[in-house]
Amino acid sequence: MKRKNIILLITIFLTIFGIMMIYSSSYVWAEYKFQNPYKFLIHQSLFAGVGFILLFILSKIDYKIYAKHANLILLVCGILLILVLIPGIGSVRNGSRSWFGIGSFGIQPSELAKLGLIIFVSKYLANHQNNMDDILHYSLPILGIIFLFFFLILLEPDFGSGAIIVLSLLVLIFTSKIKLSFFVKLGLVGLFGIVGLIIAAPYRVARILAYLDPWSDPLGSGFQIIQSLYAIGPGGLFGLGLGNSIQKHFYLPEPQTDFIFAIVSEELGFIGILILASCYIILFYHIVKISLQTENLFGKYLSLGLILELILQTLLNLLVVVGLIPVTGVTLPFLSYGGSSLLICLSAMGIILNICKSSE
């Protein structure tokens, strides 16, 4: 089977599986809050429909066109990140002003910024690959742009999305001809910066403390991770059965979002997790192979940047759900409820399919 067909089939499977699990995990909460058990199912299905249309369209558009318009794409993303911070334009949800509200729907510009930054940085690296060891004139300017966007996203605040973008792009830049010593110094500065950002925000400190000892505040900051572990624990080999989760009955808060993996584990058990993990690994493997085989430098960096973002987002989400790192608010690609995340994931797949077709 051709690589692009494998990628498409797994993408379709993960999206449909995600919609199924969103309904299974959310209908109790949706019935209570909205008197409509299908609310989250309907919303995610609509976004999935639009997302697959975007996937089809983008798979037909020559990916090289994005390099020509990379500056404009980045400018639009920057303007949207500024606009969302303005009261009356941006909507506040769960304490973050990171949404454009359209009725009961919401769009996150930070998700679009992921795509815009990856396109821009891919073009920059393709044009200046041989100059990246010149730290002052080439490395620092692109890092400045990345951290400017990180700062805008942090103002919402949305530390999780910002961290994913920065980590993905730093790894992408690391694959270029840049000095390793510079990255070591940058890592040390970044470590101090992260510590400062955590100390500056009390809710982040609470998340760290909950991570270190969730039982110190079982009804407060440690509640979500404790309930997540209660969901994962009883899953066993085959799970409790689809739709039979106990934790979704007002124990695990809004289980259809960041912690949907816990419900998958509870209802489908180790077998369900194994199938899901296999799909992600196969998908990531084939996209990395596409990147390695693509001769066009922009296409190589673009496909690698897109898959790095998806890999890091998946890993961070899973590490949070099983309690290995503090809660970050990062969604699980294709599975978690969230229209913006799903649209960007499917759009990324469309671009990757076009790169795959061009490199065959």
Residue burial 78-94, b: 16+ Cβ < 10 Å; e: rest: bebbeebeeeeebbeee
The larger pLDDT score, comparing residue 143 to residue 221, is at 143
Q: What is the DSSP letter of 90?
A: B
* pLDDT tens for each residue of 60-85: 999 999 999 999 999 999 999 998 88
Mean pLDDT, the chain, as a whole number?
88
Please return the burial class of 72, using the count of CB atoms within 10 Å of its CB with bins 0-12, 13-18 and 19+: exposed
Closest CA to 330 of 110, 152, 103: 110
In which band, very low, low, confident or very high, does the pLDDT at 219 lie, cut at 50, 70 and 90? confident
Residue 71 confidence (pLDDT): 95
* pLDDT tens for each residue of 158-216: 888 888 999 899 889 888 877 766 667 777 776 777 667 666 666 666 667 667 777 77
pLDDT at 288 over 70: yes
In which band, very low, low, confident or very high, does the pLDDT at 140 lie, cut at 50, 70 and 90? confident
* pLDDT tens for each residue of 302-340: 999 999 999 999 999 999 998 888 877 789 999 999 888
Residue 310 confidence (pLDDT): 96
In which band, very low, low, confident or very high, does the pLDDT at 347 lie, cut at 50, 70 and 90? very high
Which whole number is the average pLDDT over 214-229?
Answer: 80
pLDDT at 14 over 90: yes
Residue 326 confidence (pLDDT): 81
Handedness of CA 316, 321, 327, 332 (dihedral sign): positive
Residue 95 confidence (pLDDT): 66
pLDDT at 16 over 80: yes
In which band, very low, low, confident or very high, does the pLDDT at 91 lie, cut at 50, 70 and 90? confident
pLDDT at 26 over 90: yes
Residue 197 confidence (pLDDT): 65
102 three-class SS: strand
Which whole number is the average pLDDT over 276-290?
Answer: 95
Terminal C-alpha separation, the chain = 13
Which whole number is the average pLDDT over 250-263?
Answer: 91
Q: Look-up: residue for tokens 């369900």?
A: 272
Which whole number is the average pLDDT over 349-353?
Answer: 97
Residue 330 confidence (pLDDT): 87
